[in-house]
Copies of this chain bind each other. A is one copy, B any other.
């Protein structure tokens, strides 16, 4: 199956509609396509070819959108680097993905490892070429790294078919109206932000862009109705609610919904949102599923609190080993939105077994088919919408000469939902400050443990497997 090159097709279909709005500027689909084509010519002018893999390291905002679309028009597979990563973390992803070049914002250039070819593309000459008119559905558009249980992040391939089926299934579930404007305050290197750009092209919908999440501006736009939908994690949602309540303002009648990902939204938030005229759609998705797999309709938000809803139209969910509704087990996902696999060192690892993605998450389906996610995969910590894997932090910690063993678990945090806490079995004397500094040099800031506890031994089971849930309990007892 093929799909027309989204950027060209959209510019042909609705050239004069607003594609991107940012601060007080806006660009039509024709203008975005023209800027992207200009960038694509410069990118190809560096000698890179159709099908090459390149990495993007950017700070967000409209220039990042033009760069992304330029890279897609140039025919590249885009490795979407998280700008919060350290140089070491970036070096791993660039090396692992085999990216031939990194296109970075000037402000981020110093973070790019010296060994990598950095292209200062925008000053280049450019080369005329004809972008392909059709994309095969199995064409890889993006690669996003997600940390794994081993501590080595895995590069997830996201194809045109993955993004397309995700965007379409979302529209079938949430509807689509003339004049829809999606507020994007999520990073564009994340699937949460990138998927909004895909929807914009496929729906012909305006994206209202924030370079970084701005709670004040978000609350204002929701109240004014200059946006109709927003994606948010709980930590962002509650800040928007606080502001609206403090100002005694409500959502405009034009504002339709907030799509809330990155863990369940507590029911008090849902009630507060409802009182302000805001519908909350809770969703369950991940990098491997190019955004939403299941989404809870607003009408079921209170009746099914804690649920992530039903699978979207093209998708199926089943619970491994479940014999009846309510049985708990690993959540398995099937559908055209599921990644075909990984790149780099995990390229041999199958992403699906008999057509099913094994998420590692534990959940259950109730009698009506609503999904409840009970425990995130492999003790995943979700902190302000960012995924953090304990194993990755533990691996850094045991690299410190004073650390014999390390165990990391997510603990409650009022602002971020969860934060990582580290439990250390020492080899020699070391302070929390020293370990924090050590981590900061090697890990993105949001991954650095907020708490350090020194213990005599770590809880392990008979086969010596670390019991991270017991760490969490131990932490709660100490607080």
Contact = CB atoms under 8 A, between A and B. Distances in A.
A2 B310 CA distance: 19
A171 interface: yes
A316 B161 CA distance: 18
A395 interface: no
Contacts of A171: 171-172, 176
When all copies of this chain in the complex are counted, the total is 2
A409 B177 CA distance: 43
Task: Give the interface size bracket for A toward B.
Answer: 20 to 34
Contact of A202 (B161, B172, B178, B311): B172
A12 interface: yes
A177 B256 CA distance: 11
Q: Tell me whether chain A's interface is mostly helix, strand or loop, or mixed.
A: mixed
Contact of A172 (B1, B12, B204): B204
A338 to B, nearest CB: 11
A119 interface: no
A163 B81 CA distance: 38
Contacts of A316: 4, 133
B313 A4 contact: yes
Contacts of A172: 168, 171, 176, 202-204
A291 B171 CA distance: 20
Nearest to A161: B1
B336 A2 contact: yes
B168 A13 contact: no
Contacts of A13: 310-311, 313, 369
Q: Lowest 9 A-B CB distances belong to which pairs? A: A175-B176, A176-B176, A175-B177, A168-B168, A13-B310, A12-B369, A1-B1, A175-B178, A1-B336
Interface of A: 1-4, 9-10, 12-13, 15, 133, 137, 161, 168, 171-172, 175-178, 202-204, 310-311, 313-316, 336, 368-369
29 contacts: A1-B1, A1-B137, A2-B336, A3-B314, A3-B336, A4-B314, A4-B315, A4-B316, A12-B310, A12-B369, A13-B311, A13-B369, A15-B368, A133-B316, A168-B168, A168-B172, A171-B171, A171-B172, A171-B176, A172-B176, A172-B202, A172-B203, A175-B175, A175-B176, A175-B177, A175-B178, A176-B176, A176-B177, A204-B313
